[in-house]
């Protein structure tokens, strides 16, 4: 390691203490402020678990029921708090089970550090019991990874791991530690990492670019902001709010940007993308300046790139230079941290209000309300809708809950209809689309922010991918509220089969177990709702319950999520039915 | 931006760490791009490795790939260049039967005219080394083939650029912040 920026004086002044590599791991975690970690023990990580036992009054280890659950819980912990989540597993299958969560954290820029045990260094490459090349396997889905074979490397590598995970565009880091390094005695001392010479996490904002951006925005007649998770990650919510209010720019969000600005804010015009709102999608192809902030023009946001905002000048505020011009050719890139760039932008903006342009959003919203929203949240037909469940949760939580959603129809409905008042409140698997994310992520979120209501909204499919984490909820007494919207289908796939595969419902219908009995088997209070008139009381009972609560809502089997931009179509070809 | 396929030489300055080869090659693999040649070595700067990778892709693709390479934590800087912007060479070794050296007079002329050199000679075989551009190596290969080549191998491209790289200044600046 040649990457430390310590000078010689600092090095000699450090106080050292003799200890094992595994104790050093715990000391490093404590030095980084880790109070909770999620994991699963096994042979190659046992020395570290032995130390965790000794330090159990200082650091809380949560035994998940599967290593995938540990990564998602660490993600939930990170997403609600902005802190680095930590997951731990043994070698071999323990390590490979982390991969889905790591890949999810990579594509959704979530800061997590995963620590895996590895077979002793003299056994590396010998196909020893539970040996797998986890550094090789995790390389494409980590921001950084490293294998430690000597105890003396532990402090500097773990310091670097936390620094890299959190700085710049965050992401997952995996550190693999051989068993002999865990046992080895050495002189421990810890210094937080302050920089890595080959790594420039935040490009410096060029004021000339900010000035050019201000000029374009000031001259615009029909400006539109699309913000993403970058705003939340750089904690630029207030700066964004001031910018949109001063310049009077309607602002839409990507799925991971949700909650940065309250849903009720008059300039918040809703979600963009495949199942986003009608107005921001349609008007993406009518705006004259499109201001993208901390978002990456994912294909689910842009639809067909050949007909995406071709009429507009595009400004991209972005921390990661490799995102500029990756999917959409921009006219102006403002590199740097969103908070800093927006701070510089604000005084250069001319106050404006664009009333006619705003009216267009209102008009299109009225169309969407009549065709879609009304039927979703105030249904008159017999079957329950997912939308009315969300509406009831909004009312009873006053929009203060953190909503953790899984992947599929219920996720789109949750993101469309959840009313947020607080930032970092929409926790979902965006880029990777990981079914099974929500239940463990809700555990991490609730443990990270015990003062907040955390409601997991999950489909009957995704729920059964990580249903075993009910055991974690029960053992740890995590008071999460679990709502399963059960339509007895893999609903989103079924919707596509209906629309694009002539209703050939190949392997999407589910014969489900008694979910209430399963929850009760874990001693979790549970209820099933099948009628509209039961919904209000059931949600009230759930929210009033001090412990965890499971609520199953039987919703209409073959409802579809609209609006919808068919795959490969333009954003302005969005369908309302 | 040009979508025309061209040969590009990618030069990357990195830390010298285990696993980086995997990380860099995965960037190409993930995009279904074949690497024509790859070489890593020490660079002009202590503890800094220099990579030379040759690919045939469009400028649009190579720009995005450079972005992905530079994003890696242990990469200091990456560049791409067209052939006319670099000075580049490859090296190759031919192993041939020793009797040819005495029985076939042309072989000595071929070696001389191609600016190759004899590395070693023993009773059974002799080894010729040739450095140059790919076409020169290929020409020598064609000329020697009729005599029977026992073994042949060619290195990846190595290249230096006509423009200045300024890596040292970059590293000094990195240490300042």
- Residue A6's pLDDT is what? 45
For residue A169, give the chain B residue with the closest CA: B71
The answer to whether residue B168 scores a pLDDT higher than 70 is yes
CB-CB under 8 Å, A145 with B19? yes
Task: Decide: helix, strand or coil at residue B9.
Answer: strand
CB-CB under 8 Å, B73 with A164? yes
Place of tokens 């954003």: A571
The answer to whether residue A4 scores a pLDDT higher than 70 is no
CB-CB under 8 Å, A135 with B15? no
Which residues of A are designated catalytic? 67, 129-130, 179, 492
CB of A27 less than 8 A from some CB of B: no
The answer to whether residue A11 scores a pLDDT higher than 60 is no
Which of A14-23, A200-209, B86-95 has the lowest average pLDDT?
A14-23
Residue A48 lies in a domain: yes
Residues B100 and B68 in one domain: no
Residues A224 and A337 in one domain: yes
Residues A102 and A66 in one domain: yes
What would the two tokens of residue A305 be? 């790139």
Residues A472 and A344 in one domain: no
- Average pLDDT score over residue span A231-250: 98
- Residue B167's pLDDT is what? 82
Q: How far is B116 from chain A (nearest CA, A)?
A: 40
Partners of B47 on chain A (C-beta within 8 Å) are: 2
Indicate the number of domains in chain A. Answer: 3
For residue A320, give the chain B residue with the closest CA: B71
CB of A204 less than 8 A from some CB of B: no
Residue A570 lies in a domain: no
- Residue B173's pLDDT is what? 73
CB of A513 less than 8 A from some CB of B: no
Chain centroid, CA A126 distance in Å: 38
Residues B19 and B38 in one domain: yes
Residues B97 and B108 in one domain: yes
Chain centroid, CA A334 distance in Å: 24
The answer to whether residue A492 scores a pLDDT higher than 80 is yes
Judge whether B65 and B74 are in contact, CB under 8 Å.
no
Judge whether A274 and A281 are in contact, CB under 8 Å.
no
The answer to whether residue A12 scores a pLDDT higher than 70 is no
Chains A, B: CB pairs < 8 Å:
54
Judge whether A60 and A477 are in contact, CB under 8 Å.
no
CA distance linking residue A569 with residue A274, whole number of Å: 10
Picking from A409, A568, A428, the residue whose alpha carbon sits closest to that of residue A498 is A409
- Per-residue pLDDT reduced to its tens digit, A81-96: 999 999 999 999 999 9
For helices A338-345 and A207-219, the axis angle rounded to 10 degrees is 60
- Domain holding B114: CATH number? 3.30.70.1150
Judge whether A133 and A95 are in contact, CB under 8 Å.
no
Chain centroid, CA B111 distance in Å: 22
pLDDT band, very low/low/confident/very high, at A308 (cuts 50, 70, 90): very high
Residues A539 and A502 in one domain: yes
Residues B21 and B73 in one domain: yes
Residues A167 and A276 in one domain: no
- Residue B169's pLDDT is what? 80
CB of A200 less than 8 A from some CB of B: yes
Domain enclosing residue B61, as ranges = 5-85
Residue B161 lies in a domain: no
Q: How far is A268 from chain B (nearest CA, A)?
A: 33
- Average pLDDT score over residue span A105-112: 98
- Average pLDDT score over residue span B158-173: 84
- Half-sphere exposure of residue A300, counting CA atoms within 13 Å on the CB side? 14
Residue B177 lies in a domain: no
Residue A213 lies in a domain: yes
- Domain holding A469: CATH number? 3.40.50.970
Residues B20 and B75 in one domain: yes
What would the two tokens of residue A434 be? 């990981």
Global ipTM? 0.92
Between B141 and A5, name the one with better pLDDT.
B141
CA distance linking residue A114 with residue A91, whole number of Å: 12
Domain enclosing residue A514, as ranges = 380-554
- Residue B170's pLDDT is what? 78
Residue B170 lies in a domain: no
Picking from A187, A196, A201, the residue whose alpha carbon sits closest to that of residue A6 is A196
Interface residue of A103, A141, A197 to substitute, partner B, most B CBs within 10 Å: A197
For chain A, give the mean pLDDT: 96
CA distance linking residue B92 with residue B98, whole number of Å: 18
Residue A575 lies in a domain: no
- Residue A8's pLDDT is what? 46
- Residue A9's pLDDT is what? 44
Residues B50 and B81 in one domain: yes
The answer to whether residue B172 scores a pLDDT higher than 90 is no
Task: Decide: helix, strand or coil at residue A303.
Answer: strand
Partners of A145 on chain B (C-beta within 8 Å) are: 19
Domain boundary among A188, A215, A234: A188
Residues A405 and A319 in one domain: no
For residue B47, give the chain A residue with the closest CA: A2
- Average pLDDT score over residue span A27-40: 98
Which of A65-79, A265-279, B114-128, B161-175 has the lowest average pLDDT?
B161-175
CB-CB under 8 Å, A321 with B47? no
Residues A271 and A356 in one domain: yes
For residue A326, give the chain B residue with the closest CA: B64
Judge whether A390 and A413 are in contact, CB under 8 Å.
yes
- Residue B175's pLDDT is what? 55
* Alpha-carbon dihedral sign for residues B99, B100, B105, B110: negative
Picking from A518, A415, A531, A511, the residue whose alpha carbon sits closest to that of residue A461 is A511
Picking from A248, A417, A424, A225, the residue whose alpha carbon sits closest to that of residue A349 is A248
The answer to whether residue B29 scores a pLDDT higher than 60 is yes
For residue B12, give the chain A residue with the closest CA: A198
pLDDT band, very low/low/confident/very high, at A3 (cuts 50, 70, 90): very low
CB of A118 less than 8 A from some CB of B: no
Picking from B66, B16, B18, B9, the residue whose alpha carbon sits closest to that of residue B37 is B9
Residues A321 and A218 in one domain: yes
Tallying the residues shown for chain A, one arrives at: 577
What would the two tokens of residue B43 be? 């660079």
- Residue A86's pLDDT is what? 98
Residue B31 lies in a domain: yes
Helix (H) or strand (E) holding A47: helix A46-54
How far, CA to CA in Å, does A398 sit from each of A182, A379, A545? 49, 21, 17
Residue B172 lies in a domain: no
Partners of B76 on chain A (C-beta within 8 Å) are: 197-198
Task: Decide: helix, strand or coil at residue A505.
Answer: coil
Residues A230 and A314 in one domain: yes
CB-CB under 8 Å, A198 with B76? yes
Judge whether A292 and A314 are in contact, CB under 8 Å.
yes
Residue A568 lies in a domain: no
- Residue A501's pLDDT is what? 97
For helices A67-81 and A438-448, the axis angle rounded to 10 degrees is 50
- Residue B176's pLDDT is what? 54
CB-CB under 8 Å, A146 with B73? no
CB of A316 less than 8 A from some CB of B: no
Place of tokens 């979703």: A376
The answer to whether residue A435 scores a pLDDT higher than 70 is yes
- Residue A334's pLDDT is what? 98
CA distance linking residue B157 with residue B149, whole number of Å: 22
Judge whether A206 and A284 are in contact, CB under 8 Å.
no
- Per-residue pLDDT reduced to its tens digit, A151-187: 999 999 999 999 999 999 999 999 999 999 999 999 9
Helix, strand and coil content of chain B, in percent to the nearest 5, comes to: 35, 40, 25
Residue A307 lies in a domain: yes
Residue B64 lies in a domain: yes
Residue A142 lies in a domain: yes
B18, B67, B175: residue with CB nearest A321: B67
pLDDT band, very low/low/confident/very high, at A34 (cuts 50, 70, 90): very high
Residue B167 lies in a domain: no
Residue A542 lies in a domain: yes
Judge whether B159 and B86 are in contact, CB under 8 Å.
yes
- Nearby residues of A188 by Cβ (< 8 Å), 6 or more positions away: A16, A17, A18, A19, A23, A24, A27, A154, A155
B64, B73, B175: residue with CB nearest A143: B73
The answer to whether residue B2 scores a pLDDT higher than 90 is no
Residues B109 and B68 in one domain: no
CB-CB under 8 Å, A321 with B71? yes
How far, CA to CA in Å, does A291 sit from each of A83, A300, A318, A361? 28, 18, 11, 17
Indicate the number of domains in chain B. Answer: 2
Judge whether A574 and A282 are in contact, CB under 8 Å.
yes
CA distance linking residue A518 with residue A267, whole number of Å: 44
CB-CB under 8 Å, A195 with B177? yes
CB-CB under 8 Å, B30 with A198? no
Task: Decide: helix, strand or coil at residue A550.
Answer: strand
For residue A329, give the chain B residue with the closest CA: B1
What would the two tokens of residue B112 be? 């001389």
Residue B165 lies in a domain: no
- Per-residue pLDDT reduced to its tens digit, A58-83: 999 999 999 999 999 999 999 999 99
- Per-residue pLDDT reduced to its tens digit, A386-421: 999 999 999 999 999 999 999 999 999 999 999 999
A3, A195, A322: residue with CB nearest B71: A322
Domain boundary among B60, B85, B110: B85
Picking from A213, A218, A291, the residue whose alpha carbon sits closest to that of residue A252 is A291
Chain centroid, CA A129 distance in Å: 34
Q: How far is A139 from chain B (nearest CA, A)?
A: 6
Partners of B15 on chain A (C-beta within 8 Å) are: 2-3, 198
CA distance linking residue A431 with residue A228, whole number of Å: 12
How far, CA to CA in Å, does A206 sit from each of A202, A291, B169? 12, 17, 20
Picking from B163, B154, B106, B152, the residue whose alpha carbon sits closest to that of residue B127 is B152
CA distance linking residue B122 with residue A431, whole number of Å: 62
Q: Which residues does B contribute to its contact with A (CB < 8 Å)?
A: 14-15, 17-19, 22-23, 26, 30, 47, 63-64, 67-68, 70-71, 73-76, 171, 174-175, 177
For chain B, give the mean pLDDT: 93
Picking from B45, B55, B51, the residue whose alpha carbon sits closest to that of residue B20 is B51
- Per-residue pLDDT reduced to its tens digit, B89-140: 999 999 999 999 889 889 999 999 999 999 999 999 999 999 999 999 999 9
Picking from A210, A219, A202, A215, the residue whose alpha carbon sits closest to that of residue A239 is A210
Partners of A324 on chain B (C-beta within 8 Å) are: 67
pLDDT band, very low/low/confident/very high, at A338 (cuts 50, 70, 90): very high
Residues A441 and A539 in one domain: yes
Residues A174 and A235 in one domain: no
Q: Going along A65-119, which residue ranges are E strands?
A: 85-89, 112-118
Residues A305 and A412 in one domain: no
For helices B20-30 and B59-71, the axis angle rounded to 10 degrees is 150
* Alpha-carbon dihedral sign for residues A308, A310, A316, A320: positive
């Amino acid at each position: 390691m040649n990457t430390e920026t310590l000078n010689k004086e600092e090095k000699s002044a450090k106080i050292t203490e003799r200890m094992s590599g595994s104790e050093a791991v715990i000391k490093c975690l404590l030095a980084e402020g880790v109070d909770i970690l999620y994991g699963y023990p096994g042979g190659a990580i046992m020395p570290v678990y032995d130390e965790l036992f000794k330090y159990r009054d200082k650091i809380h280890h949560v035994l998940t029921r599967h290593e995938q659950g540990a990564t998602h819980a660490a993600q939930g912990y990170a997403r609600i708090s902005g802190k680095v989540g930590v997951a731990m597993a043994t070698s071999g299958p323990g390590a490979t089970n982390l991969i889905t969560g790591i890949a999810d954290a990579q594509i959704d820029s979530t800061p997590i550090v995963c620590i895996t045990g590895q077979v002793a260094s003299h056994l590396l490459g010998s196909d020893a019991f539970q040996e797998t090349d986890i550094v090789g396997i995790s390389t494409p889905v980590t921001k950084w990874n490293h294998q430690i074979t000597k105890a003396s490397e532990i402090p500097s590598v773990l310091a670097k791991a936390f620094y890299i995970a959190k700085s710049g565009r965050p992401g997952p880091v995996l550190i693999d530690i051989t068993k002999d390094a865990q046992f080895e005695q050495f002189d421990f001392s810890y210094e937080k990492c302050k920089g890595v010479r080959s790594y420039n996490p935040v490009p410096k904002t060029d004021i000339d670019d900010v000035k050019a951006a201000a000029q374009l925005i000031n001259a615009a007649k029909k400006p539109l902001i699309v913000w993403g998770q970058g705003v939340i990650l750089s904690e630029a919510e207030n700066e964004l709010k001031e910018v949109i209010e001063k310049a009077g720019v309607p602002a839409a969000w990507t799925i991971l940007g949700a909650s940065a600005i309250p849903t009720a804010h008059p300039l918040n015009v809703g979600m963009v993308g495949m199942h986003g709102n009608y107005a921001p999608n349609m008007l993406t192809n009518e705006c004259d300046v499109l201001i993208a902030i901390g978002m990456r023009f994912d294909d689910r946001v842009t639809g067909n790139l050949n007909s995406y905002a071709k009429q507009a000048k595009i400004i991209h505020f972005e921390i990661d230079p490799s995102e500029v011009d990756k999917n959409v050719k921009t006219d102006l890139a403002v590199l740097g941290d969103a908070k800093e760039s927006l701070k510089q932008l604000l005084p250069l903006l001319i106050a404006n209000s664009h009333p006619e342009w705003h009216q267009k959003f209102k008009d299109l919203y009225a169309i969407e309300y009549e065709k879609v929203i009304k039927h979703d949240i105030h249904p008159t037909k017999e079957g329950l809708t997912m939308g009315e469940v969300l509406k009831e949760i909004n009312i009873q939580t006053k929009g203060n809950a953190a909503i953790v959603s899984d992947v599929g129809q219920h996720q789109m409905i949750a993101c469309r209809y959840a009313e947020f008042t607080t930032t970092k409140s929409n926790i979902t698997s965006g880029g990777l689309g990981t079914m099974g994310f929500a239940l463990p992520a809700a555990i991490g979120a609730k443990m990270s922010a015990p003062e907040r209501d955390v409601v997991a909204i999950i489909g009957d499919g995704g729920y059964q991918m990580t249903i075993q984490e009910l055991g974690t909820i029960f053992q740890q007494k995590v008071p999460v509220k679990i709502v399963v919207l059960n339509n007895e289908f893999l609903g989103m796939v079924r919707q596509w089969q209906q629309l694009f595969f002539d209703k050939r419902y190949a392997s999407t219908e589910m014969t489900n177990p008694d979910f209430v009995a399963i929850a009760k088997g874990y001693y979790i209070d549970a209820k099933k709702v099948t009628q509209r008139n039961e919904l209000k009381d059931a949600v009230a009972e759930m929210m009033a319950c001090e412990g965890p609560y499971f609520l199953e809502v039987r919703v209409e089997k073959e409802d579809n999520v609209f609006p919808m931009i068919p795959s490969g179509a333009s954003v302005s070809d969005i369908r309302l039915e | 931006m040009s979508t025309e396929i061209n040969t590009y030489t990618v030069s990357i300055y990195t830390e010298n760490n285990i696993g980086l080869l995997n990380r860099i090659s995965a960037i190409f693999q993930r995009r279904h791009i074949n690497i024509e040649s790859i070489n890593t070595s020490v660079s002009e700067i202590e503890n800094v490795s220099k990579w030379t990778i040759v690919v045939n892709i469009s400028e649009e693709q190579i720009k995005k790939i450079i972005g992905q390479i530079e994003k890696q934590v242990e990469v200091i800087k990456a560049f791409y260049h067209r052939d006319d912007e670099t000075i580049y060479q490859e090296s190759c070794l031919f192993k041939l039967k020793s009797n040819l050296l005495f029985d076939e007079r042309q072989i000595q002329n071929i070696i001389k005219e191609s600016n190759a050199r004899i590395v070693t000679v023993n009773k059974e075989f002799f080894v010729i080394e040739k450095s140059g551009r790919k076409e020169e190596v290929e020409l020598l290969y064609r000329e020697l083939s009729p005599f029977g080549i026992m073994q042949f191998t060619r290195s990846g491209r190595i290249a230096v650029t006509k423009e200045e790289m300024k890596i040292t200044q970059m590293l000094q600046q990195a240490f300042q912040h």
